[in-house]
Amino acid sequence: MGAVSDEREVIRACLREFVNVRYAHGDIQNETVFDEPAGRYLVLSQGWMGKRRVHGCLIHVEFVGDKIWVQRDGTEDGIANALVEAGIPKSRIVLGFWDPEARAAGEFAAA
């Protein structure tokens, strides 16, 4: 297995950890959506909080060029940190939800 294939497995494994997260309020479930050919990985949250429908993207990670972009991160601890703990170097991860100036000053890849 090549480096990108290994990284894809790390991403899938990290995102699967969020499927069993239980929310304190409401009946909300998480599910993974993996688009392997496009290199896109999501965790979607859906359910009900009282009479209010909840449906949205909790995490969105994708390959853009030669980097792993975290486009959305609605977690407390940060999916980028989980990817680093699982062995992906910070130099490979771009925090796409940060503006470019903040990325350049941060500890992850600028782009």
Cα 91 to Cα 107: distance, rounded to the nearest angstrom: 8
For residues 94 and 64, is the Cβ–Cβ distance under 8 A? Answer: yes
Whether residue 91 is predicted with pLDDT greater than 90 in this model: the reply is yes
pLDDT band at residue 2 under the 50/70/90 scheme = low
The predicted structure's pLDDT at residue 4? 67
Cα 110 to Cα 14: distance, rounded to the nearest angstrom: 22
pLDDT band at residue 24 under the 50/70/90 scheme = confident
The predicted structure's pLDDT at residue 39? 97
Whether residue 94 is predicted with pLDDT greater than 60 in this model: the reply is yes
Other CB atoms closer than 10 Å to residue 37's CB: what's the count?
Answer: 5
For residues 82 and 17, is the Cβ–Cβ distance under 8 A? Answer: yes
pTM of the model: 0.90
Whether residue 1 is predicted with pLDDT greater than 80 in this model: the reply is no
The predicted structure's pLDDT at residue 48? 96
CA distances to 23, 42, 44, 61 from 18, in Å: 11, 10, 10, 14
**pLDDT 10s digits, 28-85:** 999 999 999 999 999 999 999 999 999 999 999 999 999 999 999 999 899 999 999 9
